[in-house]
Amino acid sequence: MRNLPTRLLVVLTLLLGINYLAWRWLESLNWDAWWIAVPLVAAETYSLIDVGLFGLTVWKKKQRTAPPAPADATVDVFITTYNEPPEMVLETALAAKAIRHPHSTWILDDGAREEVRELARDHGLGYLTRSPDWADRPRHSKAGNLNNALMETQGEFLLILDADQVPDPAILEKTLGYFNNRRVALVQTPQYFANVPDDDPLGSQAPLFYGPIQQGKDGWNAAFFCGSNAVLRREALMQLGLSGYVKEVEQGVTRALKASRTALRRARKSPEAADPLVAGLLDDVESATERARAELRAGVSLSEVTYRVRRTVDEAVQSLVGADFLSLEADLADIAALEQGTESALPDGDELDGGELDGAIERMSHRDLSPLAALESVQEVLDALSIERSAEAQPIMPMATISVTEDMATSMGMHAMGWQSVYHHEILATGLAPEDLSTMLTQRLRWAQGTIQVLLRENPLVRRGLGLAQRLMYFATMWSYLSGFAAVVYFAAPVIYLTLGVLPVTGISSEFFLRFVPFMVVNQLLFAVTGRGIPTWRGQQYSLALFPTWIRACTTAARNVWFGRPLGFAVTPKTRQESGPRWDLIRPQLIVMALLAAALIVGVVRLAAGLNEPIGTLVNVAWVAFDLLVLSVLIKAVKYKGFTPEKRSVDAVQH
């Protein structure tokens, strides 16, 4: 019954939204201005889907009671750090050491700083950094740091904290009890930031996400790992790592066998393939690779498949080496015979006729046409037939390494294997948020890039093992980062009408208002009722105002996944980086604001001249005013000078 009002509003919002969108697509499109009419209705459709996914999320919002008392268990507390100030790391580590439930505290220093090592030793804290195996191999950022530590520790459970997240002494007492259910692999708690004023100018607090959204996902067994302030079961992580190892090896072997076809076709076109011996050996290799592909499909073990193929190729190479060596010996014997025979037959003073000798030397100079060259490309491809993952520092990678953020992909993998998660709605650690705009933008860009990488590499809609609701819960978060493209259309449409008089609809009639206004009112009411007093406006502002960041995240992540372009990884600084306002950081938004303001003036002038319709002008003026109100948050963000304690009320601590 607690969720009944929310569910009624979800149904009403979707009915009104579908009614409005059906009218927009079927009756209101101005096809004479299709270049703005179609993008606008597509953006509106995107937004309705977004609202629908939100409605589904909060449909089963779970209000959990306190968990049972935890059973005895060994726990490792991991504090991840790279370049944060040592005093900050020590503060978090000492607070972690003071956690009441028995545990071991480890500082995972990815910067390998001697100062941090000494602080850990002086205060009786564990200290870990990368093993030498990671040298000259992919480091995988924070995921690699955690994976390295997992191989060096033995705790049944792991509490993961960022370097700035100071834990409450009761954090384990209030979360470990959930693991009495043997299928629970993850307990996530909120991330809350102590250095944020009540008006939250940078939108750092996320009360809607760390509240109704995560509680809703929890109702569908889809609350996911957020990188910090979470407890995880080692068994689930190791199972995920082993599964990932098998999957990676299978994919690598499959790719190598597939590529061998191309290599064999190339080898058959070489001059050496005319040699019957070479042609026969190529036939043997091709038969072996085709047989290996069939065995893989039949479920034969990878070790057996790769061993037989490698043995066939090695035998072929040895045969060609032998043939090549015999050919080389014959050429050398010919040259020696020609040299001896020519010198003995010539009288003193005559010119040496070296035609035959030159021909033999010419054959020697083209040893790249050796029969062995025909198998070189095949040999290189099949070198990838390995089950050792020698390119990685360690074969087992429990924390996902497919994106610049390890959290979502890791929990999605555990859910796909049948594990359960819990969202515990209580602040049990307090961290530090960015204190300037550039740091905030860096953080949001990385989050968005990581999420889009996961979408493109392991789309939850087709991920095996996930239930339908789980697929949609993960997809909902990924879908939200596409809002940047819709925002561009929402900003452009009123500018186009006010300056050019071009309407994307056939006309703004009473039918438009009767369909659109109720939908928008109920939509906002849904957010208000779902949040029950939680401030959501700042989040709505930033979802539109950061449109350049979301677009950049989507494009750079796509280039990385599809074309291998590097993304880089930037650790979010925990101290203020700017000495003054950085207006250049919001240049695209400032341009949009200027266009909106100019369109407002032009629209009024056109209205006075009788070039624009009064109702259309009024609607678009209101639209422009709303857009400017949304974007105005960035003006305050640029001017923000950092946190001072008196800016935050005590009431803001629990939201």
User: What confidence score (pLDDT) does residue 652 get?
Assistant: 42
pLDDT surpasses 90 at 125: yes
pLDDT surpasses 70 at 577: no
User: What confidence score (pLDDT) does residue 250 get?
Assistant: 82
User: What confidence score (pLDDT) does residue 448 get?
Assistant: 96
pLDDT surpasses 60 at 358: no
**What is the tens place of the pLDDT at every residue in 487-536?**
999 999 999 999 999 999 998 888 999 999 999 999 999 999 998 888 88
Per DSSP bridges, beta strands 126-128 and 230-233 are unpaired
- C-alpha 608/C-alpha 508 separation (Å) is 19
**What is the tens place of the pLDDT at every residue in 212-257?**
999 999 999 999 999 999 999 999 999 999 999 888 888 888 888 8
Q: 409-412 long-range CB contacts below 8 Å, 24 or more apart? A: 409/454, 409/458, 410/143, 410/225, 410/237, 410/240, 411/186, 411/224, 411/225, 412/224, 412/454, 412/458, 412/460, 412/463, 412/466, 412/474
Average the pLDDT over 346-371 and give the result: 50
Q: State how far the alpha carbon of 395 is from the alpha carbons of 134, 322, 386, in Å.
A: 12, 36, 12
Secondary structure class of 227 (helix, strand, coil): coil
User: What confidence score (pLDDT) does residue 650 get?
Assistant: 39
Kindly state the percentage of the chain with pLDDT values over 70: 86
Of the pLDDT bands very low, low, confident and very high (cuts 50, 70, 90), residue 297 is confident
Per DSSP bridges, beta strands 157-162 and 192-193 are unpaired
Closest CA to 216 of 407, 473, 496, 550: 473
User: What confidence score (pLDDT) does residue 553 get?
Assistant: 96
pLDDT surpasses 70 at 372: no
User: What confidence score (pLDDT) does residue 366 get?
Assistant: 47
Quickly name the fold that domain 75-242+398-437 has. Spore Coat Polysaccharide Biosynthesis Protein SpsA; Chain A (3.90.550)
**What is the tens place of the pLDDT at every residue in 40-83?**
999 999 999 999 999 999 999 999 998 998 888 999 999 999 99
Average the pLDDT over 176-182 and give the result: 96
- Higher pLDDT among residues 366 and 44, named by residue: 44
- C-alpha 223/C-alpha 144 separation (Å) is 23
User: What confidence score (pLDDT) does residue 655 get?
Assistant: 42
- C-alpha 552/C-alpha 561 separation (Å) is 14
Least confident of 200-204, 221-225, 286-290, 324-328: 324-328
- C-alpha 441/C-alpha 437 separation (Å) is 6
Most confident of 288-297, 306-315, 622-631: 622-631
- Higher pLDDT among residues 128 and 198, named by residue: 128
Q: Chain-wide mean pLDDT for the chain?
A: 88
Kindly state the percentage of the chain with pLDDT values over 90: 67
Of the pLDDT bands very low, low, confident and very high (cuts 50, 70, 90), residue 458 is very high
Q: Which helix (H) or strand (E) holds 161?
A: strand 157-162
**What is the tens place of the pLDDT at every residue in 139-165?**
999 999 999 999 999 999 999 999 999
Closest CA to 142 of 446, 434, 577, 445: 446
Least confident of 158-162, 338-342, 475-479, 649-653: 649-653
- Higher pLDDT among residues 648 and 431, named by residue: 431
Average the pLDDT over 280-298 and give the result: 86
User: What confidence score (pLDDT) does residue 368 get?
Assistant: 46
**What is the tens place of the pLDDT at every residue in 307-347?**
888 788 778 777 767 766 666 666 666 666 655 655 544 44
Domains of the chain, by residue range, sit at 4-58+477-652, 75-242+398-437, 245-382
Cβ-based neighbour number of residue 636 at 10 Å = 12
User: What confidence score (pLDDT) does residue 172 get?
Assistant: 97
User: What confidence score (pLDDT) does residue 260 get?
Assistant: 80
Angle subtended by helix axes 234-268 and 407-416, to nearest 10: 90
**What is the tens place of the pLDDT at every residue in 389-428?**
778 999 999 999 988 888 999 999 999 999 999 999 999 9
Secondary structure class of 127 (helix, strand, coil): strand
**What is the tens place of the pLDDT at every residue in 592-606?**
999 999 999 999 999
Least confident of 6-20, 346-360, 641-655: 346-360
**What is the tens place of the pLDDT at every residue in 6-16?**
999 999 999 99
Average the pLDDT over 458-476 and give the result: 97
**What is the tens place of the pLDDT at every residue in 531-564?**
888 888 999 999 999 999 999 999 999 999 999 9
